[in-house]
Amino acid sequence: MPRMTLPDRLARAAAWFIATPPVHFIALLGLCAAYIQGGLDKLLDFNAAIAEAQHFGLPFATASACATIVTELAGSALILTGVYRWLGALWLAGFTLIATFVANRFWEMPLPQRFMVENSFFEHLGLVGGFLLVAWLDLRGRDGHG
């Protein structure tokens, strides 16, 4: 039997703690946290949700607010329960990508306001990547490659 290298031993030690169901759930919860909070806030103050949709110039502000609430809460629920996790992840990835281009148009802003909005834009692209990874892992596990 070949001797384990240091990176292999470190990976095995990390996997003992990190590659566990509780950490997996906490990671998914962290990824969905802003969407759960946003969906609940919009649900509890629906007038503010409509005002936000109007602020961003979305057509049919009431319908847009409803669709946003459903997307944030239902997409998160699918991911956290594991029921059609891939679908919830793709749903939130698409929503986040669209919302990022609607809400974080940093290229239209003067400096120094541009910096914070530009950072937010790229942070949201990171969320899109995280959701795509969740979908990829879920679908890969279903086709026997996981």
Burial class (CB in 10 A: 0-12, 13-18, 19+), 90: buried
Measured between alpha carbons, how far is 87 from 136 in angstroms, rounded to an integer? 10
The pLDDT of 122-139, averaged and rounded, is 97
User: How confident is residue 2, by pLDDT bands cut at 50, 70 and 90?
Assistant: confident
If you average pLDDT over residues 41-45, what whole number do you get? 98
| Residues 27-41 pLDDT 10s | 999 999 999 999 999
Tell me, what amino acid is at 51? A
Distance CA 92, CA 32 (A): 9
Q: What is the pLDDT of residue 114?
A: 94
pLDDT value at position 94?
Answer: 98
pLDDT value, residue 144: 56
**Mean pLDDT score, 59-69:** 97
- Alpha-carbon span 146 to 126, nearest angstrom: 23
Average pLDDT over residues 75-103: 97
Does the pTM of the predicted model rise above 0.75? yes
| Predicted pLDDT of residue 145 | 54
Dist. CA 31–CA 49, nearest whole Å: 22
**In angstroms, rounded to a whole number, what is the distance separating the alpha carbons of residues 40 and 73?**
8
pLDDT-derived band at 13, boundaries 50, 70, 90: confident
pLDDT over 60 (residue 85): yes
First-residue to last-residue Cα distance in the chain: 25
Tokens of 9: 């031993």
